[in-house]
Amino acid sequence: MRKYFSLLCIAASVFMAGNVNAQNPIVRNQYSADPSARVFGDKVYVFPSHDILATPGKGRVGWFCMEDYHVFSSSDLTDWTDHGMIVSQTTTPWTKPDAYNMWAPDCIEKNGKYYFYFPASPKDSSYGRGFAIGVAIADKPEGPYTPQPTPIKGVHGIDPNVFIDKKDGQAYLYWAQGNIYAARLKPNMVELDSDVKTLAELPTKGLKEGPYMFERNGIYYLTYPHVENKTERLEYAMGNNPFGPFKIAGAIMDESASGCWTNHHSIIQFKNQWYLFYHDKDYSPNFDKARSIRADSLSFNPDSTISKVIPTLRGIGITAATKEIQIDRYSKIADKGISISFIDTTNKFLGWKTSFAQQGAWIQYNTVDFGIKPLKSVIVKAVSTEGGILQIRVNSIDGPVIAEVKISKTNDWKINTAGITKQQTGIKHLFIVSKDGKPVDVDWVKFQ
Ligand code: FUB
The residue ranges of every structural domain in the chain are: 19-298, 320-447
Q: Which residues contact 34 (CB under 8 A, 6 or more apart)?
A: 48, 49, 103, 104, 105, 159, 210, 264, 279, 291, 293
**8-state DSSP, 3:** H
Distance CA 39, CA 272 (A): 12
Compute the mean pLDDT over every residue in the chain, rounded to the nearest whole number: 95
Pairing of strands 68-74, 80-88: antiparallel
pLDDT of residue 12: 38
Residue 355 confidence (pLDDT) above 50: yes
- Note the pLDDT tens digit of each residue in 388-409: 999 999 999 999 999 999 999 9
The average pLDDT across 305-330 equals 97
Least confident span in 1-10, 162-171, 197-206, 362-371: 1-10
Give the pLDDT of residue 22: 64
Beta-strand pair 362-369/319-320:
parallel
Q: Is the CB of 328 under 6 A from ligand 1?
A: no
Those residues with Cβ within 8 angstroms of residue 294's Cβ, 6 or more apart along the chain or in another chain: 24, 25, 26, 277, 278, 279, 280, 282, 311, 315
| CA separation for the pair 149, 154 (Å, rounded) | 15
How confident is the model over 209-213, as a mean pLDDT? 98
Q: What is the pLDDT of residues 230-245, one digit of tens each?
A: 999 999 999 999 999 9
> What distance, in Å, lies between the first and last C-alpha atoms of the chain?
52
Q: Is the CB of 104 under 6 A from ligand 1?
A: yes
Pocket test for ligand 1, best of 31, 32, 34 (most atoms within 8 A of CB): 34
Question: Is the pLDDT assigned to residue 292 strictly greater than 50?
Answer: yes
Q: Whose CA is nearest to atom 8 of ligand 1?
A: 210
Give the model's pLDDT for residue 333: 98
Ligand 1 pocket, mutate which of 207, 264, 293 (most atoms under 8 A from CB): 264
Nearest CA to ligand 1 atom 3: 103
Pocket mutation for ligand 1, best pick of 209, 253, 281, 284 (most atoms within 8 Å of C-beta): 209
Chain segment 131-154, per-residue pLDDT in tens: 999 999 999 999 999 999 999 999
Residue 21, pLDDT score: 52
Residues 6+ apart with CB under 8 A from 410: 383, 384, 385
Ligand 1 pocket check for 36: Cβ under 6 Å: no
Looking at residue 125, its pLDDT comes to 87
Q: Which residue puts its alpha carbon closest to atom 2 of ligand 1?
A: 103
- Asked whether the predicted pLDDT for residue 368 surpasses 60, the reply is yes
Sheet holding 68-74, edge to edge: 18-20, 80-88, 68-74, 43-49, 33-40
Nearest atom in ligand 1 to the alpha carbon of residue 159 is: 6
pLDDT at 1: 39
At residue 128 the predicted structure's pLDDT band, cuts being 50, 70 and 90, is: confident
Q: Which fold has domain 19-298?
A: Tachylectin-2; Chain A (2.115.10)
**Could you give the angle at the alpha carbon of 174 between the alpha carbons of 169 and 179, nearest 5°?**
150
Segment 350-378 shows an average pLDDT of: 97
Go through the chain and tell me how many residues it has: 448
What is the CATH topology of the domain spanning 320-447?
A: Jelly Rolls (2.60.120)
pLDDT in tens, 4-60: 334 333 333 333 344 445 699 999 999 999 999 999 999 999 999 999 999 999 999
Three-state DSSP class for 6?
helix
pTM for the model? 0.94
Distance CA 404, CA 408 (A): 13
Q: Could you give the residue numbers annotated as active site?
A: 34, 209
Instruction: Report how far ligand 1's centroid is from the alpha carbon of 159 (Å).
Output: 7
Do domains 19-298 and 320-447 share one topology? The answer is no
Q: Is 160 in the pocket of ligand 1 (CB under 6 A)?
A: no
Binding site membership of 158 for ligand 1 (Cβ less than 6 Å): yes
Q: Which atom of ligand 1 is nearest to the CA of 279?
A: 10
